[in-house]
Structure 1
Amino acid sequence: MKIVTLGIDLAKTVFAIHGVDERGKVVLKKQLRREQMAAFFANLPHCLIGMEACGSAHYWARKLQEYGHTVRLIAPQFVKPYVKSNKNDAADAEAICEAVGRPNMRFVPIKNCDQQAILSIHRARQGFVKARTAQGNQIRGLLSEYGITIPQGISYISKRIPEILEDAENGLPGIFRQLIDQLGRHLKELDRQVEVLESQIQAWHQESEASKKLAQVPGIGPITASALVATIGDAKNFENGRQIAAWLGLVPRQHSSGGKPTLLGMSKRGDTYLRTLLIHGARSVIWHAQRKPGTGDWLTNLVARRNKNIAAVALANKNARIVWALLAHDREFRNDYAVA
């Protein structure tokens, strides 16, 4: 029997395979080791293959596409309802096989190597930023035990440490001074690592026409633009701007029943990193708009009647829709654009 649809439960070493024919009858259930995957799928007739969007999924999707197969990646939360009874590798593969054949299933776009590379730099930068913040908070907390306070802001720590170490009248023990000096050097090294990765992101941004196009939108800089381009890929995978805003979790959660709509707070679905960048960019636009009245009628009126946090999310939602319009229709951003 010819295999029409096949589900793969990805793993580190052993992969579970589940295949069905055009009538949905099971014709293949087996396990393959990693070194057997290439030979098996190279000799398998072309079919539809589904996988969960997890670790190494994009690599295997590109690999199987080279053999002529049609590959679809599914978010794990959409596969879970199809798992019957207890969870195991075979049951997961069967659930993936069933989910990928559903006509209304949503799929994750497959990323190419360049997209994965720039996103890896973003993730590494994010890790260094978190480590830098934690290191700064540790230094601030240790100094507070000796009655020395430092104003908020990571920049104040590097400025104040030399003054604190040179002050012979603050009563700090010698061993503690050595510790603060060591932690200060570590903080500078983390800061240097962040700058190096940001320069790599800037270089990639300058080479990407789509990224430079998005950076023209107020509230979107090179870091946000490059992350959006690399994550979204082909914007035509989304039907409209509302879908991409919902995909980023910038819309209200809904809990409606009996014909009565009930909207809650932000859904916070999707990529937390992208959503955070868009909201922080929106906060910056609001901060500047309040100091320059008349810069934007819609934003000014929104801030006047609603909380700043709500206004920031609303502006981030609007920017997400603009991003879709620019990428999907290959347009340039116009600040004076108005619907006819």
Structure 2
Amino acid sequence: TRKASTLATADEGRDGELRHVGRIGGDLVALDKALRRLIARGHRLHVVYEAGPCGFVIWRHLSARGISCEVVAPSSIPRAPGERIKTDRRDALLLARLARSGDLKAVRVPDVADEAMRDLVRSRDDAVREQRNARFRLKALLLRNGIGYSGRTSWTPAHVRWLASLKLPQPAQQIGFQEYLHSINESTARIARLEQALRDLLPAWALTPIVQALQAMRGVQLIAAITIVAELQDFLRFEHPRQLMAYLGLVPGEHSSGGKRRQHAITKAGNSAARRMLVEVAWHYRHDARVSPIIARRHDQLPKAVTDIAWAAQLRLTAKYKRLAARRVMKTKAVVAVARELAGFVWAIGRE
């Protein structure tokens, strides 16, 4: 069930009256009833609401009824620096006033099919996170009991066989260990099912050509390409690659005044899932530029313009990483810098 919503209106004109209409139920029936009352009083409606856990249901519902509607991101709503009071009533009145003055920027509402694909991608991301957390908990249990793995790499078939052969000294500990192991196996199987579902649904998706084109780039395999496209979807809305970099939160924060220019860590604003995936891909550009046989097979099925962009990305990004490494920049910082420029090449392929 949805919590109650707060409704406020702003009359046209700079000096138009701001009104707090009141609280309404959190369902669409209550919203329709409240809007009908406003229409009956002669109001011409333009509805604005904050993006949140309810998604775009209200936008689609009102748009189907011919009512103008916009969804705005809470992070993009201007607020006074010293404001320390936040209530639903104040937020509703603020939204109404800013919507009237044109100071709000609406977010893009995805197509139903695109949003469904993004939901599936995020389900896989959740399963990966649960698997990682379960692995950490199991390793912590073994560490507390002085049990260490002598092999070089964890979670290989050899490591899994070693885990299956373990027997802890106390029965209670063995039960806890076994439950952690079951959790890991279940999340691993879930990841495999979700990835197979993505592969099965991909041919019918309208954005499949972009997914295929992005795989021309080094480190961008099928799941990475689907994730990036599902999160970004419409590349044409970014007129310049810097807009995409800022949307992904890969640009550095800045606090400059007078003659001093101070830059901080990246803003981490915008889409975190796409940002994480780009950073993962950027690690592949630590190595020398090279077109592997697997990438070469992908290139055979793609336009030359796309493969040229992918090769230019390899040359530029590998050189950038080496240049930063030569300056003894931390590896993680260097990879994030590579990911920022990688977003520009992704933008170019997406628009191509």
TM range (shorter): 0.7 to 0.9
Q: Residue type of the partner of 1:285?
A: Y
CA RMSD of aligned residues (A): 3.1
Deviations 1:85-144 (A, max 9, x none): 742222111111222344454331112322332222233222222222222222222223
Alignment partner for residue 68 of structure 1, among 66, 69, 86?
66
| In structure 2, distance between residues paired with 1:216 and 1:160 | 38
Deviations 1:252-307 (A, max 9, x none): 11111125433222222122221111001010232464999x99442343222213
Give the 3-state SS of the residue equivalent to 2:220 in structure 1.
Answer: coil
Counterpart code for 1:96: L
Q: 1:179 to 1:20 in 2, by over 3 A?
A: closer
Contact 1:16/1:32, CA 8 A, preserved across alignment: yes
Which moves more between the two structures, 190-199 or 104-113? 104-113
Percent sequence identity over matched residues?
21
Q: Distance in 2 between matches of 1:57 and 1:19?
A: 22
Q: What's the counterpart of residue 266 of structure 2?
A: 266
Uncovered stretches (5+) of structure 1, i.e. residues with no partner: 1-10, 166-170, 332-340
Q: Which amino acid aligns with 1:59?
A: V
Tell me the distance in 2 between the aligned counterparts of 1:104 and 1:239. Answer: 20
- Shifted more, 65-74 versus 212-221: the winner is 212-221
Aligned length: 313
Query: Amino acid of the residue matched to residue 250 of structure 1?
Result: L
Partner residue, 2:50: 52
Measured against aligned partners, the alpha-carbon deviations of 1:159-211 in whole angstroms (never above 9, x if no partner) come to 3112324xxxxx73445444433432232111101111122223334442232
2:297 is matched with which residue? Answer: none
Q: State the distance in 1 between where 2:36 and 2:195 align.
A: 40
Change over 3 Å in CA distance of 1:81–1:193 after alignment to 2: same
Asked if structure 2 preserves the Cα contact closer than 8 Å seen for 1:18 and 1:26, the reply is no
- SS in structure 1 of the partner of residue 52 of structure 2: coil
**Match for residue 29 of structure 1?**
20
1:324 Cα deviation from its structure 2 partner? 2.5
Q: CA distance change for structure 1 residues 60 and 41 in 2, over 3 Å: closer, same or farther?
A: same
Q: Determine if contact 2:227/2:277 at 8 Å carries over to the other structure.
A: no
The reply to whether residue 302 of structure 1 matches residue 302 of structure 2 is no
Tell me, in whole angstroms, the C-alpha distance in 1 between the residues paired with 2:246 and 2:114. Answer: 22
Gaps of 5+ in 2: 293-311
Q: Output the amino acid matched with 1:32.
A: I
Tell me, in whole angstroms, the C-alpha distance in 2 between the residues paired with 1:145 and 1:27. Answer: 61
Partner of 1:118: 117
Distance in 2, matches of 1:46 and 1:220, equals 48
The separation in 2 between residues aligned to 1:303 and 1:246, in whole angstroms, is 21
Q: Give the match for residue 301 of structure 2.
A: none
Alpha-carbon separation, structure 1, partners of 2:321 and 2:210: 30
Amino acid at match of 1:133: R
Query: For the structure 1 residues 70 and 212, does the alpha-carbon distance in structure 2 shift closer, same or farther, using more than 3 Å as the test?
Result: farther
CA contact (8 A) 1:82 1:96 kept: no
Indicate which of 197, 200, 209 corresponds to 1:200. Answer: 197
Equivalent position of 1:8 in the other structure: none
| Separation (CA, whole Å) in 2 of partners of 1:287 and 1:301 | 9
What CA distance in whole angstroms lies between the structure 2 residues aligned with 1:85 and 1:263? 27
Q: Distance in 2 between matches of 1:217 and 1:21?
A: 52
Judge conservation of contact 1:211–1:229 (CA < 8 Å) in 2.
yes
Q: Is residue 234 from structure 1 mapped to residue 239 from structure 2 by the alignment?
A: no
2:195 corresponds to which letter in structure 1?
A: E
Q: Whole-Å Cα distance in 2 between the matches of residues 219 and 163 of structure 1?
A: 35
Contact 2:224 2:277 (C-alpha < 8 Å) held by counterparts: yes
CA contact (8 A) 1:140 1:157 kept: no
Name 1:334's counterpart in structure 2.
none
1:77 partner SS: helix
Q: Is residue 337 of structure 2 the alignment partner of residue 318 of structure 1?
A: no
Equivalent residue number for residue 216 of structure 2: 216
Q: State the SS of the aligned residue for 1:117.
A: helix
CA distance 1:97–1:214, change in 2 (3 Å): farther
Q: Give the TM-score normalised by structure 1.
A: 0.79
CA distance in 2 between counterparts of 1:248 and 1:296 reads 21
**What is the correspondence of 1:1-340 to structure 2 with a 5 Å cutoff?**
12-24=2-14, 25-26=16-17, 28-30=19-21, 31-33=23-25, 34=27, 35-41=29-35, 44=39, 47-79=45-77, 81=79, 86-103=85-102, 105-150=104-149, 153-155=154-156, 157-165=159-167, 172-207=169-204, 208-287=208-287, 289=289, 296-306=314-324, 307=329, 308-327=331-350, 329=351, 331=352
Q: Secondary structure at the match of 2:166?
A: helix
Q: Which amino acid aligns with 2:87?
A: N
What is the letter of the counterpart of residue 138 of structure 1? R
What secondary structure is seen at the aligned counterpart in 1 of 2:2?
coil
